[in-house]
Amino acid sequence: MKKVSSFLVTSALLIPLAVPAYADTMPAQSAGVQSAQTQSASSQQSAQGLTLQQAIDNALGYSYSLKEAATNIDRAADVRDKAADNVKYNGVVPVVEPGGNYTYSTSTVTTNAVFSGAIQAGIGYQMAKRTYTAQQDAVVYSVRKAYNAILQAQAKLNLDQLAAKNAQVQNDVARAKYNVGTASNFDSVNAETSMDAATKTIKADETALSSAYQALNQLMGYKPDDRPQLAEQPKFEKLQESDLEGHVSRVLSDSPTVWNAQQNIDIKKLNLDLYVFNNHTSTTPYEAVQKDVTNAVNEYANVKDQMAGAVRSLYYNIRQLEDQYTAAEAQLPAVEEAARLAKVQFDAGVGTQADMVAANLKVDQLKEKLFELTIAHDNAIAAYNKPWAAASGGSGQASGSSQSSGN
């Protein structure tokens, strides 16, 4: 007689020996304790500034999605242990007759169902742990992206405030020239229009900054209108990766999505191995179960292809950002020198304030562009390292009532 695959049998026999807890990563405190700790930390952060790691810790402690994932681990362990007890109680490991043809009997169907349930419960427990880890990764990525979004919004607001000051100076110059007849009415009106547009841009920037803060506050459980001061900024460091395909292989090995798809193949194959012919209570033909295996194999291949493609795309996007940063950085010395000369000329009385302010604005604009590239680069590297976290999108978002960061 042909036995079911040794891997599956071994897995079933070892199920009772597995540790049901997941203490290494599950939050140890109750929700009430976590809330108190976050409130206490936030009071300190208001004075000292909120670091990225503090923001991550707050979000990990607050996330209801993560708490649910932790509870699902315990639940999966309970189901696994009960399934293992059922195997012990029946005391039978199913076998496959030559050709895989079972003769229908209540005993056969029951035995197969118990054994299949035990295997699937064991896989389900492992999936629950992987899901918890993936949820952690999603929260960490979401916090990093939200933290960076605030920094970027602040930088844009600061730049546009400088641009508004420059527009004000240019408007004053244009009006003065118009009054003495050295500039046309068109020039004066155009300068005033630019000044008004700059003022409106600041209003839009302030709204964008409020939205960015709200996103981070939601992740950490703060009130929407809290404004914690951020203590860190990302530094631009080129990706130290020379073996792209090696990284692709590591990602595929670590990816919870790929792992789950692979386990699904084992489950479908098990259903095929344990298929009972002449079971008139079943509405699923053997050919349909075969197709389930085929579909699972194709889905696994598709998931791997999609994940590998995403990693490669992220890699080339990172390299493109690095090239853009290098090109922009190369322009900085010339722009700074032009600003220095404009100041020297203004101080010597041979240059205008408008020229000096405009030259300084070009420096600020280039620096803000470099900072935008730094933010995009930092986010891209985080996604490159754990693309499944980035693919989760807003799944790391916390839900529920907010707490104040100032209490």
Please enumerate, as own/partner, the contacts of 96-100 that have beta carbons within 8 Å and a separation of 24 or more: 96/1, 96/2, 96/3, 96/4, 96/273, 96/274, 97/1, 97/2, 98/1, 98/2, 100/2, 100/272, 100/273, 100/275
Q: What is the pTM of this model?
A: 0.80
68's tokens: 């649910």
Query: In this predicted structure, what is the pLDDT of residue 92?
Result: 57
Report the first-to-last Cα separation within the chain, whole angstroms: 70
**Rounded distance between C-alpha atoms, residue 11 and residue 120, angstroms:** 10
**Rounded distance between C-alpha atoms, residue 352 and residue 345, angstroms:** 8
Query: Within a 10 A sphere around the Cβ of 291, how many other Cβ atoms?
Result: 12
Beta bridge partners of 230: 50
Which residue from 388, 154, 124, 137 is spatially nearest to 263, judged by alpha carbons?
Answer: 124
Q: What is the set of domains in the chain, with CATH numbers?
A: 2-394 (1.20.1600.10)
**Rounded distance between C-alpha atoms, residue 351 and residue 173, angstroms:** 13
**Rounded distance between C-alpha atoms, residue 348 and residue 367, angstroms:** 27
Give the torsion through C-alpha atoms of 86, 284, 256, 399, to 10 deg. Answer: -90
Query: In this predicted structure, what is the pLDDT of residue 339?
Result: 97
- DSSP one-letter code for 24: T
Query: In this predicted structure, what is the pLDDT of residue 178?
Result: 87
Residue ranges of E strands in 120-206: none
**Rounded distance between C-alpha atoms, residue 175 and residue 168, angstroms:** 10
Q: To 10 degrees, what angle do helices 353-385 and 286-347 make?
A: 160
CA distances from 310 to 238, 249, 316 (A): 19, 13, 10
DSSP helix/strand/coil, 269:
helix
CA distances from 209 to 148, 200, 206, 215 (A): 11, 14, 5, 10
Query: Within a 10 A sphere around the Cβ of 119, how many other Cβ atoms?
Result: 24
Query: In this predicted structure, what is the pLDDT of residue 337?
Result: 97
Residue ranges of E strands in 258-398: none
- DSSP one-letter code for 230: B
**Rounded distance between C-alpha atoms, residue 239 and residue 148, angstroms:** 18
Per-residue pLDDT of the chain (407 residues; tens, 9 = 90+): 344 444 444 444 344 433 333 233 333 333 333 444 444 445 445 457 999 999 999 999 999 999 999 999 999 999 999 988 888 877 655 555 545 555 445 567 777 788 888 888 999 999 999 999 999 999 999 999 999 999 999 999 999 999 999 999 999 999 998 898 888 899 899 999 999 999 999 999 999 999 999 999 999 999 988 999 999 999 999 998 789 999 999 999 999 999 999 999 999 998 888 887 877 777 888 999 999 999 999 999 999 999 999 999 999 999 999 999 999 999 999 999 999 999 999 999 999 999 999 999 999 999 999 999 999 999 999 999 999 999 875 444 443 334 444 44
- The answer to whether the CB of 125 falls within 8 A of the CB of 77 is yes
Amino acid type, 49: G
Query: In this predicted structure, what is the pLDDT of residue 348?
Result: 94
Query: Within a 10 A sphere around the Cβ of 195, how many other Cβ atoms?
Result: 20
- Note the Cα 44 to chain centre separation in Å: 27
Tokens 């503090």 identify what position?
A: 54
Angle at 11 between CA 10 and CA 15, to 5 degrees: 120
CA distances from 269 to 131, 139, 258, 274 (A): 23, 34, 17, 9
Q: Where are the alpha helices (DSSP H) in 386-403?
A: 387-391
